[in-house]
Structure 1
Amino acid sequence: MEILNKLKNLDAYPKINEDFHTRTFSGGVVTVISSIIILFLFISETRLFLYSATETKLIVDTSRGERLRVNFDITFPSIACTLLSVDTVDISGEQHHDIRHDIIKKRLDHLGNVIEARQGGIGAPKIEKPLQKHGGRLAHNEAYCGTCYGAETSDDQCCNSCEEVREAYQKKGWAMSNVDLIDQCSREGFVQKVKEEDGEGCNIHGFLDVNKVAGNFHFSPGKSFHHSGINLHDLLAFQKERYNISHKINKLSFGKEFPGVVNPLDGAQWKQGGSSGMYQYFIKVVPTIYSDIRGHKIHSNQFSVTEHFRDENVHPKPLAGVYFYYDFSPIKVIFTEENKSFLHFLTQLCAIIGGVFTVSGIIDAFIYHGNRTIKKKRELGKYR
């Protein structure tokens, strides 16, 4: 019993007889308001506990030899699909012209409606008996081996398409002065295709796989054919606005999507006002790793961008097109999802309840004692 009595003396919460309790209207108002505040903070803290938070960390990017995937979806309302090409160049010296794999082109009418969708390329009709390497026409049961018009590098080389003839000429350093005289090109109907697409636009989407070094990729009207030495001025004249590089970027991203990513060029568009030229986007790519609550990692990228337009009237005259120049930040960002511990959650709840009750008690005491003071002064006739 002596131990129990000593334990009773340690009670930090002495009880007051209910007969000495005084309940007031102001105390009831403070109690209701404080209860609402506690409930609101309790719900808010519970949501924070149930949903994971994201921690951000910055480290130096030491990765090497990686590849970068560029996803794009861009609409050119005034450039025909046949003339629109995609090229890539990087500082390592790797170049790719008129890229066609993993790319889909959609022909658009003047209202933006899709006319036709096809894999990048011309895809034109063929004639029944094309010209053979030996100089004659394709005979019955004879295998087709098209001539390279003197640009062959070996006796068994065949050029069965206009693209293969262009590549053979390019390796020789020759220019194709008249595309209509090339049997493969005429057979594929390139010139006719340009005429048919007069006044059309093009939506081009897909992805590029490039080295993770500084470089650029660009979209231009017929630039790939300039590399082969073909003069396109007559062909481009079939379009009413032959160098109109107005465009809308529906989607542009580097790598995989991850929660919370913001791609600043999604939905961006530019309309050509006067003369044509080169529209440039300078992009700073930031390598990013996103790790979810289960530990799954997504290796991706974020980027920032600035824009610039070079008028065709400057010297040297720029090649018309839309150019994306990208470079990499030496800093890598790591986002990590994590949940708060249950003990931390309990600590926050105790702090909320205790803090609100303490502040409410102070406010209630201030109101109660203030009212009592005013009443006493009135009773003594000192307050009017």
Structure 2
Amino acid sequence: MARLFSKLKAIDFFKKIPSDLTEATLTGAWLSIVAAVLMAFLFVAELSAFLSTTTTSQLVVDRSPQNELLKLNFNISFPALSCEFATVDVSDSLGTKRMNLTKTVRKVPITLDMERQHQGAAVEDTAHKPGPKYDEEGRFDEEPDIDITVPLSHENFEATLARYPIVVVNFYAPWCHWCQRLEPTWEASTKEVHDKYPEWDGRIRFAKVDCTAEVDMCRQHFIQGFPSIRVFRKGHDDIYIGGMHEHEAYMGDRTKEALVAFADSLVPSAGQPHRKHASLSAAPKTAGCNLAGFVMVKKVPGTVHFVARSEGHSFDHTWMNMTHMIHSFHVGTRPSPRKYQQLKRLHPAGLTADWADKLHDQMFVSEHTQSTHEHYLQVVLTTIEPRHSRHTGNYDAYEYTAHSHSYQSDSIPSARFTYDLSPVQILVQETGKPWYQFLTTSCAIIGGVFTVAGILDALLYQSFKVVKKLNLGKQG
């Protein structure tokens, strides 16, 4: 055993020199203190670097899962577009077209000053309904004396409404295709209703208003599509239920049978402004509409289209004003406070105030008639991968640049948001130093400082000995 231990001593890397053969110097003591302080400082600095993280940014081809959908969120106010006809459409470069989206869109009536209507609830569209039915063309061509009603004017409109408990008014425009389809049916229905409920009965009247002749009066009643059929009770086009006024619009079929049946069902409520009719829909009480919600789209170039649309109605393009205020338009999901701070810390260029919503609180005014507004958005995906939650804490942040302009065209005015997604993704990864690198660096710091200090001490010691010998030689 003793021989084994003696052989092990032969491979000792750190052979010791007897203490009586060493010499301690004051210079060596000072160098030892400086070296110890320097080693401690460098070790603490290296430990801090090991505990901290660094970020690396790189551009890669978009790694999003195939067929993943993108969420577009919006909150936009149109002060001159009625909620009655305001619709949201989506189309993309693959040929997908979805018209009049309703499930994820909420409408709130607003005034021209973009103040929300206090009375009444928000409008949540139901499933898409087909347009109203019409009588076959030419059905009433052989009817004698078919034009029995004279359009009301601003001079006798209020007096007519005040005279009868219920007045059903057809707001039309002579150039409108659907109005031309309705005209003979309306006249035939008017004749039958007035024969059934003559003047002495006085409970219900049918009337019509030419909106090309009475522009101001039609706009006063927020008529934007033709024909629009409104119901007036005791001189008002609203009913008072539960402390709220509700305007009434007839949106049913436009055949003679349907209109006469509607009149028959409406007559019992004559003189009862608190009684709501099941066949009537809420008519607009204000000029504008706020549309808020989201749409899910494919990650290909496409367009979100805000426009007035209705099956069975025509629109005067010169009446359409698509001025709008964009309260917000952002892509993807808003980050939680924790993820926002993470994103703010790791984003390559930091976050600006409008980093996710370049169109926030911007107003776009239609200075000319038939003006369409188009916003072109270029969307870029930035993926943040934190160090300690690489799989569970990843966050996708979508940013975009926006370019807007307006132009005049013969088509119906609208507001279009055209988006295009970059195929390149910015990948930001948070990384730290491995433990073995920290250990290697720490050893290098200690060994390096110790070696350099030893070399410096040896140079100073030898220099002092040479100087001492020279001084002794001069004295001898």
Question: What TM-score range do you get, normalising by the shorter chain?
Answer: 0.5 to 0.7
Say if 2:448 is the partner of 1:353: no
Residue 98 of structure 2, aligned match among 96, 99, 104: 96
| Structure 2 residue identity aligned to 1:118 | A
Report what 1:281 is aligned to: 376
Given that 1:280 and 1:307 are in contact with CA atoms closer than 8 Å, whether structure 2 keeps it comes out as yes
Compute the displacement of 1:244 (Å). 2.7
- 1:326 is paired with a residue whose SS is strand
Report what 1:9 is aligned to: 10
Distance 1:358 1:285, change over 3 A: same
Compute the displacement of 1:88 (Å). 0.2
Report what 1:177 is aligned to: 226
Q: Quote the sequence identity (%).
A: 13
Q: How does 1:81-92 map to 2 (within 5 A)?
A: 82=83, 85-92=87-94
Residue 43 of structure 2, aligned match among 38, 41, 49: 38
Given that 1:61 and 1:332 are in contact with CA atoms closer than 8 Å, whether structure 2 keeps it comes out as yes
Residue 324 of structure 2, aligned match among 245, 259, 262: 245
TM-score by length of 1: 0.58
Say if 2:396 is the partner of 1:326: no
Report what 1:150 is aligned to: 135
Deviation string 1:151-188 (CA, Å, 9 cap, x unpaired) is 8xxxxxxxxxxxxxxxxx8xx9xx96322367228943
Deviation string 1:164-221 (CA, Å, 9 cap, x unpaired) is xxxxx8xx9xx9632236722894343x4333x5xxx73613x323345432223x3x
Q: How does 1:23-62 map to 2 (within 5 A)?
A: 23-46=28-51
Which whole-Å CA distance do the structure 2 matches of 1:337 and 1:103 have between them? 38
Distance 1:60 1:281, change over 3 A: closer
Deviation string 1:236-262 (CA, Å, 9 cap, x unpaired) is 5xxxxx433342436321799996677
Compute the displacement of 1:89 (Å). 0.6
Deviation string 1:265-301 (CA, Å, 9 cap, x unpaired) is 5232344478465242333566989899789679996
- 2:36 is paired with a residue whose SS is helix
- 2:314 is paired with a residue whose SS is coil
Given that 2:322 and 2:413 are in contact with CA atoms closer than 8 Å, whether structure 1 keeps it comes out as no
- 2:103 is paired with a residue whose SS is coil
Given that 2:75 and 2:326 are in contact with CA atoms closer than 8 Å, whether structure 1 keeps it comes out as yes
Q: How does 1:108-127 map to 2 (within 5 A)?
A: 118=122, 120-121=124-125
**Structure 2 unaligned spans of 5+:** 137-177, 182-223, 231-248, 253-278, 472-476
Report what 1:268 is aligned to: 358
Given that 2:76 and 2:324 are in contact with CA atoms closer than 8 Å, whether structure 1 keeps it comes out as no
| Structure 2 residue identity aligned to 1:184 | M
| Structure 2 residue identity aligned to 1:13 | F
Say if 2:189 is the partner of 1:204: no
Report what 1:188 is aligned to: 281
Tell me the number of residue pairs that the alignment of Structure 1 and Structure 2 aligns: 314
Compute the displacement of 1:351 (Å). 0.8
Deviation string 1:336-362 (CA, Å, 9 cap, x unpaired) is 99998xxx52x2232121111133225
Which whole-Å CA distance do the structure 1 matches of 2:382 and 2:69 have between them? 10
Given that 2:226 and 2:313 are in contact with CA atoms closer than 8 Å, whether structure 1 keeps it comes out as no
Which whole-Å CA distance do the structure 2 matches of 1:112 and 1:13 have between them? 86
Q: Which of structures 1 and 2 has the bigger CA Rg?
A: 2
Which whole-Å CA distance do the structure 2 matches of 1:77 and 1:60 have between them? 35
| Structure 2 residue identity aligned to 1:323 | F
Which whole-Å CA distance do the structure 2 matches of 1:368 and 1:147 have between them? 102
Given that 1:106 and 1:202 are in contact with CA atoms closer than 8 Å, whether structure 2 keeps it comes out as yes
Given that 1:256 and 1:298 are in contact with CA atoms closer than 8 Å, whether structure 2 keeps it comes out as no
| Structure 2 residue identity aligned to 1:312 | Y
Given that 1:288 and 1:302 are in contact with CA atoms closer than 8 Å, whether structure 2 keeps it comes out as yes
Q: Report the aligned-residue RMSD.
A: 5.4
**Structure 1 unaligned spans of 5+:** 123-145, 152-168, 237-241
Compute the displacement of 1:304 (Å). 5.5
Which whole-Å CA distance do the structure 2 matches of 1:84 and 1:285 have between them? 30
Report what 1:127 is aligned to: none
Which whole-Å CA distance do the structure 1 matches of 2:465 and 2:281 have between them? 106
Given that 1:255 and 1:300 are in contact with CA atoms closer than 8 Å, whether structure 2 keeps it comes out as no
- 1:193 is paired with a residue whose SS is coil
Which whole-Å CA distance do the structure 1 matches of 2:331 and 2:302 have between them? 16
- 2:420 is paired with a residue whose SS is strand
Distance 1:328 1:78, change over 3 A: same
Which whole-Å CA distance do the structure 1 matches of 2:416 and 2:463 have between them? 78
Distance 1:60 1:267, change over 3 A: closer
The range that moved more, 7-16 or 273-282, is 273-282
Which whole-Å CA distance do the structure 2 matches of 1:378 and 1:358 have between them? 30
| Structure 1 residue identity aligned to 2:314 | G
Which whole-Å CA distance do the structure 2 matches of 1:362 and 1:283 have between them? 59
TM-score by length of 2: 0.49
| Structure 2 residue identity aligned to 1:247 | I
Given that 2:46 and 2:442 are in contact with CA atoms closer than 8 Å, whether structure 1 keeps it comes out as no
